[in-house]
Amino acid sequence: MAQQIDFSGQSVLVVGGTSGINLGIAEAFAENGARVAVVGRSRERLESALSRLSAAGGEAIGRCADVRDLSAVEQTVGGISDHFGGIDVLVSGAAGNFPASALDMSPAGFSAVVDIDLLGTYHVLRTAYAYLTKPGASVINISAPQAYIPMPLQLHVCAAKAGVDMVTRVLAMEWGESGVRVNSIVPGPIADTEGMKRLAPTTEARQMITDSVPLKRLGRAGDVANLALFLASPMASYITGAVMPVDGGWSLGGLSAMAAEMPRHFKPGRRD
């Protein structure tokens, strides 16, 4: 269970919250008393996420939408806000990924990732602003180490997540006056996630990553959720525009060494 901070009476929207790290964040808010909404494309994943969230104790609702579709985002976010009477915490973390070199990746594959991660983040934040509690709302974008560590086979994610962190910084400046804080969380390698399955598909690759993390373990979804709870809480009321790793120190150097090794673990030509 994540840390205890009281979020009773607060409404939390987690976009991309139907699995993995983001579902862990949604669960942590539910366990701490918040009303939680999650959004993703797959109905099956959404339903399974909602059963986990109900078990966590909070009121939970969900909607299916693709963040690339602005009108779907407008309808979904507006509907969720109407249901809750506003949004206190917004977590935006929908993302796609597949390992491929710049030349093996098709332009459509590049666009798909940039459109989900970066354009999707813009759609979600732009739409949600009208419904955010002002002053006081906390917006958290889920970034990735690829935003600032160049990684072979990850051109699309590197470009998209670097953009996401700039969305964080620019909107922190534009929205600060209305009392809305905007921060990025940068998870490190988190065990048992789709992201890790895709980027570290073998035991050897996972061991190499573990060895390259100064704290010598993979992260847990709860490690990321704890930072999200903190950033959304009054304890972080003077923090905005920050890009915060929760990665066991991986970005200090081990990640760069591992990035250079990455192509060894994939066959050339793989596009996923």
- Give me the residues that bind ligand NAP (CB under 6 A), please: 16, 18-22, 40-42, 45, 66-68, 93-96, 116, 120, 142, 144, 187, 189-190, 193-196
Which stretches within the chain are classed as H helix? Answer: 20-31, 43-56, 70-84, 107-114, 120-128, 155-175, 194-199, 203-212, 221-232, 254-261
Q: From the CA atom positions of the chain, what is the Rg in Å? A: 18
Least separation in angstroms between residue 165's CB and ligand NAP is 12
Residue placing its CB nearer to ligand NAP in the complex, 180 or 225: 225
The torsion angle over the Cα atoms of residues 48, 54, 56 and 62, rounded to 10 degrees, is: 60
Least separation in angstroms between residue 157's CB and ligand NAP is 7
Residue placing its CB nearer to ligand NAP in the complex, 209 or 236: 209
Least separation in angstroms between residue 8's CB and ligand NAP is 25
Residue placing its CB nearer to ligand NAP in the complex, 111 or 133: 111
Least separation in angstroms between residue 82's CB and ligand NAP is 20
Q: Order of strands, edge to edge, in the sheet holding 243-246? A: 60-64, 35-40, 11-15, 89-92, 138-142, 181-187, 243-246
Which residues are paired to 174 by β-bridges? none
Residue placing its CB nearer to ligand NAP in the complex, 110 or 179: 110
Pairing between β-strand 60-64 and β-strand 181-187 as defined by DSSP bridges: unpaired
Q: Is the peptide bond before 268 cis (omega within 30 degrees of 0)?
A: no
Residue placing its CB nearer to ligand NAP in the complex, 93 or 163: 93
Least separation in angstroms between residue 65's CB and ligand NAP is 6
One-letter amino acid for residue 213 of the chain: V
